[in-house]
């Protein structure tokens, strides 16, 4: 699989407790991206954050919070990311989705070694 040098980064901000069809939303998004042959996806778990409600979510031991922030990052061609957006929209109830142009410097093993 190849990614063009000029690609798009799809970044999805959700909560740990968000669900899609009774499974964690982050898991459902990654599995759907894989099923649709997007180049790759990474889930990052945040130790602290807040969103539109301004409710603080934290992993501090004194106050064990649920619903910690999760960020899912997917990089692929603009065409493939744009095709994925309606699918993503149907899966999400709330959250924040951003897009930005990126340059892919390496994907997979380097062939110049």
Whether residue 109 has pLDDT greater than 90: no
pLDDT tens readout for residues 34-70: 999 999 999 999 888 887 777 777 766 555 556 789 9
Write the DSSP string, 23-54. Answer: EEHHHHHHHHHHHTT-S-EEEEE-SEE--TT-
Domain range annotation of the chain: 6-103
Find out whether 16 and 64 touch, Cβ atoms under 8 Å.
no
CATH 3.30.70.120 fits 6-103, yes or no: yes
Between these two residues, 60 and 85, which has the higher pLDDT value? 85
What is the predicted pLDDT for the residue at 107?
Answer: 87
Between these two residues, 94 and 91, which has the higher pLDDT value? 91
Neighbours of 102 (CB within 10 A): 13
Whether residue 84 has pLDDT greater than 50: yes
Find out whether 27 and 17 touch, Cβ atoms under 8 Å.
no
What is the predicted pLDDT for the residue at 111?
Answer: 56
Question: By percentage, how much of the chain surpasses pLDDT 90?
Answer: 65
Between these two residues, 33 and 67, which has the higher pLDDT value? 33
């Amino acid at each position: 699989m190849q990614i063009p040098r000029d690609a798009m980064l799809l970044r999805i901000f959700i909560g740990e407790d968000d669900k899609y069809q009774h499974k964690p939303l982050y898991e459902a998004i990654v599995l759907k991206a894989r099923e649709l042959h997007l180049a790759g996806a990474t889930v990052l778990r945040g130790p602290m954050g807040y969103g539109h409600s301004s409710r603080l979510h934290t992993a501090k031991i004194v106050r064990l919070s649920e619903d910690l922030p999760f960020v899912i990052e997917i990089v692929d061609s603009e065409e493939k990311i744009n095709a994925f957006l309606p699918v993503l929209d149907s899966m999400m109830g709330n959250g924040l989705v951003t897009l930005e142009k990126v340059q892919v410097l390496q994907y997979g093993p380097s062939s110049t070694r």
